[in-house]
Structure 1
Amino acid sequence: MMAELRPAEGLPLLPTMQVEPHARRLALAVVLASVVVFLAVVPFAKVQLAPVNAFIPIYESALLLNDLITAVMLFGHFSILRSRALLVLACGYLFAAVIVIPHALTFPGLFAPAGLLGAGSQSTAWVYVLWHAGFPLFVMAYALLNHRDGAQPRLIQHPGRAVAAGVLAVLAAACACSVLTTSLHDVLPAILKAGKYTPAGSAILTSTWLFSALAIVVLWRYTRRSTLDVWLLVVMSAWICDIALSAVLNGGRFDLGFYAGRIFGLLAASYVLIVLLLESNRLYARLAVAHDDALLRTRDLQRLNTQNEERAAQYAQALDELHYKDEEIRAVVQNIVDCIITIDSSGVIRSANPAVEQVLGYPAADVAGREILMLIPELEYDAHFFLRDKMVTDTAALAGSSTEVEGLHKDGRRVPLELAINDFEVHGERLFIGVLRDISERKRFIAELWQARAHAEHANKAKSAFLSNMSHELRTPLNAILGFAQVLTSESMPLTVEKRKHFTTHILKAGKHLLVLINEILDLAKVESGTLALSPEPVGVAEVVRVCQEMMDPMAEQRGIRLVFAVDSGLHVLADRTRLKQVLLNLMSNAVKYNRPGGAVSVACTAISAERVRITVQDDGQGLDAAQLAQLFQPFNRLGQEGGGEEGTGIGLTMTKRLVELMGGSIAVRSEVGVGSVFTVELKSAAPMQHAESPDMAGAITPRRAGLAAAPVRTLLYVEDNPANQALIQEVIAFRPDLRLLTADDARLGLDMARAHRPAVILMDINLPGMSGDEAMAILRADPDTAHIPVIALSANAMSRDVARSMAAGFVRYLTKPIDIDEFFEALGSALDPAEDKTLQQR
């Protein structure tokens, strides 16, 4: 395999081409010009220039494209040459391209005043350091690997896997650098203060500068002076000018050195790309010329072939036709990929072509004179072809037909074959010719097709069942909501106050059930798509069980179920606290709901090893049979409880299993009909987290002023385009005589009303016509007249990313529709109280 790959090294590609004199002179001229410009700029490097906001995105976009295209082209060269050194260099350019992204995202004032990704004041500077120290590392590794391989490089046999591994490694390194410079930036020394370099920053950046100089020394000492090596020396020279001007000799950001250095960096990223493109054009031109020459030669060959055919036809008349045909057939048989064997009437092989060795492992010379049964044992019993020691005489029906048989390979394995057989006569002797074709790949392909079809049918059935169950579960509470709503709005049905209250209670109950179902479906969708975010931490099991006990006590007491807990207070598990509580509440609520009257639910927690903790929830219910256990964790499958008196969605146990597995644990169940069920959850154990003592918050609470007069009527502004939602909030606010509600149908009208009326609180929908709520929030915060007004988001967007985006925009609270009245008033009160305190202070 290695010998087959080495000829690629002779191809006229940039990494293997010896540098030509004119190219060497051009590279030297570029370096000298860079030095001249560098020396001319150095005296003015600290001259402060006006910050150009568009410079950084333009510069880094060009840098990203140049380095990325260069990396792709180098990966392409690597796929041909398969040199480890070239793979490392391509990864270096990919690293230089990828690291630009966190540098841009964390740059202050580019996308956010303090940068994105949780950036600190030093994040961008440290990304720059890791960026400009990382690329020389790759260059030095390239040079050292070139030197180590020497004249006989170690070629990589699977370039595709190597490229994938290199890309993943580069992405992992870039992510690690991003995390180090953002989340952990506080542990890093300060490089910049007030836009100027600190002494530590100057030392670090100077070291990075010298590190790049070391890369030039390594390149000069250890490379073979190919065209690529020479231009890498030019790149590193420009790289040194970049670091010197923009990070060592200048004073800080947006001075002349800052701009000039980045221009040198852009040139450094462009040199190899330009040379690659020029060399690609030259190679393409040579390929075009070669193609034209090949076409001319092909025409000449065709003309010569025509002449040869004419001469062969003339010679054929003078030669023995039988001899000519024999030679022609022999050539075809020797070169065909199928096995061709000739057999006499007694079943003995007369001859075989070389393909028999590829298919069955026997050299052609070894099978001559042996029985056909050695290759195809089953023919001994197949009356269509052979009987023992003789051929079937009637083969007219078999002419042109084929059948599947099993051949016996030399190593003993069975090989599926397609066999076609015909008879012929030579000098009065009857012979048989058989054509054997290996159909292993065809059989495997057909088997894979059938398997894929079976998987697709299974997935389609599962999808249909899921949609059918989800439709049923959604329509059930909707039926109650719409049915009772129609009764309430009907003028032909006289209703008493008690019936209206009863029907309204059913509507609320069904609506809450529908909301629970939607939330569980959304959670399940997040789990299945891999977007559910977990925060693993050491969690005390006893603490979570105690919270669950407080929530379950009323439900258990109402049903007469006794709760028994046996939990060691010292046990901790590695889990997401909220999701662990969700898992235990699901298991405990099921154990209470489906228990027998007067039964008990036992919750226990034990350490089964130093690494694992087991939590068990046991009930005294009716238990489950084997068929029910097999369907236990299927979505929307309530195991025959759909018509019972207990409400449920059929998703709880599915979510429980997914959550436990996402937290690195496992869940199991054992059950006996008439006895009850035991659910077992095993999670990784963890050492308890060390918490700092909380300050006494009681002392921080300031009592309200005594003798405060009754609060005046305060104004609320509700920005909502849906009339029904406006009407609902109007009815809710009507219960508060101290509040006055104003409404606006779109964001622009809402902004005008906010400036005119200065409301105490603004309720804002997110999806508004013309301008979104997030955009309106930005305008409110930018206006000094409205910046102090608390704004509460009231939206149907319930996804976590939507909530996080709006909270980052400045909303004090985020409430999702349908609203909970108690939660709404609580949020309204928390927003009004600071406004009231501010008014009192102004008095």
Structure 2
Amino acid sequence: MAFGIVAGMLAVSALLAPFVNRQIGRVDSFLPVVQTIMSAADLLTATLLFAQYSVQPHRALLVVASGYIFAGSFAFLQTLSFPGSYAPNGLIGDVYNTPAWFFVLWYTTFPLSILSYALLKDKGKISRGSTTRSIAITLMSVLGTIALLSWLLIAEVEHLPRFFTTGLMLQTPLSNQFNIGLTLLGCIVLLVLFVRRRTVLDLWLMVTLFAAVPNFLVATYAGSARFSVGWYTARGFALIASFMLLSVLVTEMTVLSSRLANALVMQRRERANRFVSIDAATAAIAHEIKSPLGSITLNADTARQVLVAQSPRLEEVHAILKDIGDASLRVDETITSVRKLFRDATDQPVMISIEDVARQVLRLLQHELQFNEVLVVTEFGVEAPFVNADPVQLQQVILNLFKNSIEAMASTPRDGRRLIIGTRVEQTSIVLLSIQDTGTGVSPQDRDRVFEAFFTTKPAGMGLGLAICRTIIERYEGRLVLGKSGPQGSTFEIALPVVSRT
């Protein structure tokens, strides 16, 4: 999609290049409408980036959000100062040079912010303090800088170099020099971001920077670019650029909200089914033990009456007590059978692919893997082998092993965190899922105890996770072992019997 948008802008630029100097009439309402929309889009984008920072507190996101605040603010301030927008001579500044200086600040602060982001994003600088406090400090710093620069351009513009000659509205040589400089700055930032690209955010920031280049080229090529074909086209490209990242972030939020809604629906359905199972089990228990309990109560009353009689009949008391014992045994058998029924209902092994379960767990842990900057390498076989196990329980086992690996790599340098997941078939009858990390490993004296209940190497661990995981795997005639461990990391292996699909 990004390539298609860039190709479309190139095609439009090529078609309109011969007419770039042609004046097509002055439409005073065009600039305030377009740039006000651009300002709103930039500020909304900054808001979404701040929201993403509150979830993933990488300082590079603060820099990008600051760049969008600079862009949106200076774009709106240029609209206020532009002649014919909200007033014949603009609302602020002089008629000629204040709008040009706001344009320069607009397209200087934004690419410089993106350049800072490109240089900071791979250093893994994560804010350790309050995210709200970091956002507040960033906003105050950015708004203070905008206020100071705006005052300078409005009150002291006569002391600044001039981009347009007074009255004739012709560009000075300095204007062309600045346009060339801004073009070079945009291209340099685009090149740096291209070399250091890693994420979808990098990709769409590149498209945004590319869409801003026509503004400078038009101003450099056309002597008086205002209200020409090239001027209108460049503003149109800038409008598209303002909505690039905003559209991507909104789309991502929509997808995540949809996934969250589906997860909540499934969770509620599972809870409802659980309540139905509990109600059914409770009804079954009540129905089955009501009769024995009634018999016990009746026999106890009868035995008490017999004992208080003047000549108690001990043989009858003996028979009554025997009935009470038999009834209590029937109650115990009823409870045992219902518990067995409930246990069997929650453990329903089916034929599943262990690789599919591993992929599902990776999707569940995607955010945690990205936050901890763990590189995942999968080495799955060509054909996914099938095993016989309960999908939910197997998922919990693999999830626990993945989370253990992530926690084990907490002290590993970020560029060295690797989670290698692979499968292979041994002796055509056993499928082996290996989970290898580059953490600190398990010490030799603890290797034989990691699967013991209540033994843990974590400061806040309960020591039950691996023990439960091994019990679950052994229930399906498999095994869970620590394959190898050392200073370079650990490898846990799950082995389960292969079942045929037919």
Would the alpha carbon gap of residues 295 and 261 (structure 1) be closer, same or farther in structure 2, given more than 3 Å must change? Answer: same
Residue in structure 2 matching 1:202, options 169, 176, 179: 176
Map 1:122-271; keep pairs closer than 5 Å.
Answer: 122-149=97-124, 153-193=125-165, 194-224=168-198, 226-245=199-218, 247-252=219-224, 253-271=226-244
User: How far, CA to CA, are the matches of 1:60 and 1:104 in structure 2?
Assistant: 7
Map 1:330-729; keep pairs closer than 5 Å.
Answer: none
Q: TM-score, structure 1 length as denominator?
A: 0.33
CA contact (8 A) 1:74 1:86 kept: yes
After superposition, the C-alpha distances for 1:206-236 in whole angstroms (9 at most, x for unaligned) are 1011111111112112231x11111111111
- What amino acid does structure 2 have at the position aligned with 1:214? I
Residue in structure 2 matching 1:117, options 86, 92, 97: 92
After superposition, the C-alpha distances for 1:244-279 in whole angstroms (9 at most, x for unaligned) are 23x222332111111111111000001111112222
1:318, distance to aligned residue in structure 2 (A): 4.1
Name the counterpart of 1:345: none
Name the counterpart of 1:284: 257
After superposition, the C-alpha distances for 1:414-454 in whole angstroms (9 at most, x for unaligned) are xxxxxxxxxxxxxxxxxxxxxxxxxxxxxxxxxxxxxxxxx
Name the counterpart of 1:303: 276
After superposition, the C-alpha distances for 1:558-587 in whole angstroms (9 at most, x for unaligned) are xxxxxxxxxxxxxxxxxxxxxxxxxxxxxx
- What amino acid does structure 2 have at the position aligned with 1:200? L
- What amino acid does structure 2 have at the position aligned with 1:84? R
Matched, 1:67 2:62: no
Structure number with the bigger relative contact order (C-alpha 8 A, sep ≥ 6) is 2
User: How far, CA to CA, are the matches of 1:300 and 1:308 in structure 2?
Assistant: 12
1:120, distance to aligned residue in structure 2 (A): 5.2
Name the counterpart of 1:346: none
1:136, distance to aligned residue in structure 2 (A): 0.4
Would the alpha carbon gap of residues 146 and 257 (structure 1) be closer, same or farther in structure 2, given more than 3 Å must change? Answer: same
User: How far, CA to CA, are the matches of 2:71 and 2:15 in structure 1?
Assistant: 27
User: How far, CA to CA, are the matches of 2:116 and 2:274 in structure 1?
Assistant: 49
Count of paired positions: 290
CA contact (8 A) 1:82 1:159 kept: yes
Map 1:767-806; keep pairs closer than 5 Å.
Answer: none
Matched, 1:103 2:49: no
After superposition, the C-alpha distances for 1:714-743 in whole angstroms (9 at most, x for unaligned) are xxxxxxxxxxxxxxxxxxxxxxxxxxxxxx
User: How far, CA to CA, are the matches of 1:109 and 1:204 in structure 2?
Assistant: 24
Q: Which has the larger radius of gyration?
A: 1
- What amino acid does structure 2 have at the position aligned with 1:162? S
Q: TM-score, structure 2 length as denominator?
A: 0.54
Name the counterpart of 1:420: none
Q: Which moved more, 1:121-130 or 1:98-107?
A: 98-107
User: How far, CA to CA, are the matches of 2:254 and 2:220 in structure 1?
Assistant: 39
User: How far, CA to CA, are the matches of 2:217 and 2:134 in structure 1?
Assistant: 35
Matched, 1:55 2:13: no
- What amino acid does structure 2 have at the position aligned with 1:261? A
1:109, distance to aligned residue in structure 2 (A): 2.8
- What amino acid does structure 2 have at the position aligned with 1:270? F
User: How far, CA to CA, are the matches of 1:196 and 1:308 in structure 2?
Assistant: 87
State the SS of the aligned residue for 2:25: coil
1:99, distance to aligned residue in structure 2 (A): 1.4
User: How far, CA to CA, are the matches of 1:174 and 1:118 in structure 2?
Assistant: 15
CA contact (8 A) 1:78 1:159 kept: yes
Matched, 1:38 2:10: no
User: How far, CA to CA, are the matches of 2:32 and 2:221 in structure 1?
Assistant: 23
CA contact (8 A) 2:34 2:239 kept: yes
User: How far, CA to CA, are the matches of 2:215 and 2:280 in structure 1?
Assistant: 67
Residue in structure 2 matching 1:88, options 43, 60, 63: 63
Q: Which has the higher helix share?
A: 2
User: How far, CA to CA, are the matches of 2:79 and 2:12 in structure 1?
Assistant: 27
Would the alpha carbon gap of residues 231 and 220 (structure 1) be closer, same or farther in structure 2, given more than 3 Å must change? Answer: same
Would the alpha carbon gap of residues 241 and 312 (structure 1) be closer, same or farther in structure 2, given more than 3 Å must change? Answer: farther
User: How far, CA to CA, are the matches of 2:68 and 2:56 in structure 1?
Assistant: 18
CA RMSD of aligned residues (A): 2.3
User: How far, CA to CA, are the matches of 2:211 and 2:128 in structure 1?
Assistant: 32
User: How far, CA to CA, are the matches of 1:86 and 1:140 in structure 2?
Assistant: 12
Name the counterpart of 2:412: none
- 5+ residue gaps, structure 1: 1-25, 320-843
After superposition, the C-alpha distances for 1:695-731 in whole angstroms (9 at most, x for unaligned) are xxxxxxxxxxxxxxxxxxxxxxxxxxxxxxxxxxxxx
User: How far, CA to CA, are the matches of 1:111 and 1:50 in structure 2?
Assistant: 18
- 5+ residue gaps, structure 2: 290-327, 334-502
After superposition, the C-alpha distances for 1:649-685 in whole angstroms (9 at most, x for unaligned) are xxxxxxxxxxxxxxxxxxxxxxxxxxxxxxxxxxxxx
1:143, distance to aligned residue in structure 2 (A): 1.2
User: How far, CA to CA, are the matches of 1:172 and 1:232 in structure 2?
Assistant: 25
CA contact (8 A) 2:111 2:186 kept: yes
CA contact (8 A) 1:106 1:117 kept: yes
User: How far, CA to CA, are the matches of 2:223 and 2:72 in structure 1?
Assistant: 26
User: How far, CA to CA, are the matches of 2:7 and 2:37 in structure 1?
Assistant: 24
Would the alpha carbon gap of residues 207 and 312 (structure 1) be closer, same or farther in structure 2, given more than 3 Å must change? Answer: farther
After superposition, the C-alpha distances for 1:503-552 in whole angstroms (9 at most, x for unaligned) are xxxxxxxxxxxxxxxxxxxxxxxxxxxxxxxxxxxxxxxxxxxxxxxxxx
CA contact (8 A) 1:242 1:263 kept: no
- What amino acid does structure 1 have at the position aligned with 2:163? I
CA contact (8 A) 2:83 2:90 kept: yes
User: How far, CA to CA, are the matches of 2:282 and 2:112 in structure 1?
Assistant: 63
User: How far, CA to CA, are the matches of 2:235 and 2:275 in structure 1?
Assistant: 59
CA contact (8 A) 1:119 1:181 kept: no
State the SS of the aligned residue for 1:114: coil
1:121, distance to aligned residue in structure 2 (A): 2.4
